[in-house]
Structure formats: C-alpha cells, structure tokens
C-alpha cells in the first residue's frame, strides 16, 4: 500500500521546496490565542493554513511535486486520489500550469470539495463507493491512461513542500516548544518534523487511525474506515515515507473522539473566528481535551490545517452545545 519507495526527504529538500514554491502560495498567518492559552496554561498560537490557496496546506506539496516533473510527464496529464483537499490543490495547481487533471474521489466525498475540484477545471471521477475503493480505481486508471500520479502524502517532493509550514512556524514563533499537527496520511507532520527540531505531536480521529496502526505494525497497513466528520484525516493507510519520519521524529500520536473534534471546531469558530473544517480543528481539539502534555508556561503551536467544511456538517456541529 505504499505509494512510493523514494528517498525520505531532508531539511535541505524542504529549504529547496521553499524556493520552488515562493510567490505561488500564501505565507499563512500565525495568531496568538489567549483563550486557548488560558485553557492549557501556556502561550498558544494557531497556524492558519485554512487561509492557504484552495483552503488547506495541500498546494505547498503539490506545487513542489509538479515542479519536479519532466515535460513528457506533464504532457500525459496528471491523476490523483483524494477525499477532497488534495484534489482541490492538484486541480488548481495543474490548471495554473496548463496540465490536464483527473481526480479519483468516492461517491461519498464532501460535495463542496467535489464542486471546488471541478471548478478549478479538473475531471472528478466518482465511480468508487468509498475511499478505499477509490484508491484501487486510481491504480487501474494510472495503468489505463498513462497519466502521471501526484501522491497526496507519500512522496518526498510532497513531504518537502508541506515542510514549508514548519519553516514558517520557526520564523514566526522561534521559541516554540511544541507543535501539534493533525495526521491523515502523514505528509504534513512528516514535512514539519523534517523542517524543524521542535517537539511535535500528532493527532488522529479514533475512527481513522491509519498512522497509529502503521507505527504499531512497523509498516503501512490498511485499516477499516469508519465514518468521521474529519474526512481530511481519513485515508485507508498511512505512507511508508511518512511513517519512517514519524518513527524518528514524532513524539507521540493521540486519538480524538468525534465529540472532541466537534468541540475543537466550535472553539475555533467562536473564540478564534476561524471557520475551519473538522480536520482542521483536530490539533486544537486535542489540546482542549487535555490529551497533549503541555509544560506550564511553554509555547505551543496548533496547526489549523484546512477550512473546506461541508455546509451541512459545519452547521450541525456549530449548532451543538459543548458539555463543558
């Protein structure tokens, strides 16, 4: 199930990626959150990747990957597989470079993300009934079409591009003691861990813990997916490259319930005025739930990774009341 066997990227690769994508992505802001800081007895900051182009951190890695392609790889068009945020990033980046793009999604994908993917000019294939089947369909389409595959997480260029988030955090919060990062396939946390020496802890939904399962097994394993509002953190497996970085650099991974994710999303909406998606709220949710060990008075950065929430999901979560 590994998507590539290429070499694990280095910090030099992340620095090179920063040069490659400079001027083509936003340098997203870092906000201080006094309210979150009070809750966890620390200085708290939020890295707002929901303000990135296409609404998530994903274009960083995609642009870096596209820049590595040979002319014949571009001419054949690209194909990818995604629950939504990577789909939008590939669609947007490919269109900006005149590259034809096909995205394999599932019939249950977030309708807003499907519409945005098509709006950027890509063809969205929705034949697969679920995300696992979508990956299997992707493999068939790569063989049938000859398109160039743009992996969502397990690729050295993608990981290096996502690592530019870590470089920005190091610049903006140089005294950070801890970074808390959501995990899907692991590209973002692997990139940040490669870019910085700051302690890093990952967060996954209980219902989609592919990274945790991979760490326990010592290699990428396929998990049985359960429905989660954090659809951006729900691949059927984590990457071999991302797990390799995780074993060396990620301090631990904690798991969140659906209620905890929802509470994090409501907190960011009400107190930080950040209209994020459930996946984007995971890092903050873990801090609020007390699942991350935080030294009193330390400096903590939580990644708010995306803002592409389905309207019905967001409205239902925001309408709920927290128990505390």
pLDDT at 1 over 90: no
Same topology for domains 11-58+156-319 and 62-149, yes or no?
yes
Percent of residues, the chain, with pLDDT higher than 90: 89
Q: Concatenate the DSSP letters of all residues of 8-20 into one string.
A: PP-HHHHHHHHHH
Cα separation of 180 and 300, whole Å? 8
Q: What percent of the chain is modeled with pLDDT above 70?
A: 97
pLDDT beyond 70 at 83: yes
Write out pLDDT tens, residues 158-186.
Answer: 999 999 999 999 999 999 999 999 999 99
Q: Where are the domains of the chain?
A: 11-58+156-319, 62-149
pLDDT beyond 80 at 6: no
Angle 171-205-190 from CA coordinates, rounded to 5°:
35
pLDDT exceeds cutoff 70 at 312: yes
Q: What does the pLDDT read at residue 323?
A: 57
Q: Which residue has the tokens 């907190």?
A: 267
pLDDT over threshold 80, residue 322: no
What pLDDT digit, counting tens, does each position of 210-232 carry? Answer: 999 999 999 999 998 889 999 99
Topology of the domain covering 62-149: Rossmann fold (3.40.50)
- The fold of 11-58+156-319 is Rossmann fold (3.40.50)
* Confidence at residue 2, expressed as pLDDT on a 0 to 100 scale: 40
98-109 tens-digit pLDDT: 999 999 999 888
Q: What is the pLDDT of residue 131?
A: 83
- What is the CA 183 to chain-centroid distance, rounded? 6
pLDDT score recorded for residue 59: 98
Q: Which two tokens stand for residue 287?
A: 């801090």
249: tokens are 């650099």
3-state secondary structure 46-75: EEEHHHCHHHECCHHHHHHHHHCCCHHHHH
For 17, 108, 151, 317, the CA distances from 161, given in Å and listed in that order, are: 5, 28, 12, 32
């Amino acid at each position: 199930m590994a998507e590539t066997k290429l070499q694990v990227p280095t910090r030099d690769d992340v620095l090179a990626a920063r040069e490659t994508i400079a001027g083509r992505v936003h340098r997203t802001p870092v906000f201080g959150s006094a309210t979150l800081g009070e809750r966890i007895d620390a200085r708290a900051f939020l890295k707002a990747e929901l303000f990135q182009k296409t609404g998530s951190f994903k274009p960083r890695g995609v642009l870096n990957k596209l820049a590595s392609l040979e002319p014949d790889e571009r001419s054949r068009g690209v194909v990818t597989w995604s629950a939504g945020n990577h789909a939008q990033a590939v669609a947007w980046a490919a269109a900006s470079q005149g590259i034809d793009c096909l995205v394999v999604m599932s019939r249950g994908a977030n309708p807003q993300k499907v519409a945005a993917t098509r709006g950027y000019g890509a063809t969205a294939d929705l034949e697969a009934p679920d995300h696992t089947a979508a990956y299997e369909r992707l493999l068939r389409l790569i063989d049938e079409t000859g398109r160039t595959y743009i992996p969502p997480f397990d690729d050295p260029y993608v990981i290096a591009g996502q690592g530019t988030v870590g470089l920005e955090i190091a610049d903006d919060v140089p005294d950070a003691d801890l970074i808390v990062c959501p995990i899907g396939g692991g590209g973002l946390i692997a990139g940040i861990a490669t870019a910085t020496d700051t302690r890093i802890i990952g967060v996954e939904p209980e219902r989609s813990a592919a990274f945790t399962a991979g760490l326990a097994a010592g290699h990428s394993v396929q998990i049985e997916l359960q429905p989660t509002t954090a659809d951006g953190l729900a691949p059927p497996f984590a990457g071999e490259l991302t797990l390799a970085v995780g074993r060396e650099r990620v301090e631990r991974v904690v798991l969140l319930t659906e209620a905890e994710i929802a509470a994090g999303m409501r907190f960011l909406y009400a107190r930080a005025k950040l209209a994020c998606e459930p996946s984007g709220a995971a890092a903050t949710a873990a801090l609020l739930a007390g699942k991350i060990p935080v030294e009193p008075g330390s400096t903590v950065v939580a990644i708010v990774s995306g803002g592409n929430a389905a309207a019905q999901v967001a409205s239902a979560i925001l309408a709920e009341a927290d128990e505390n």
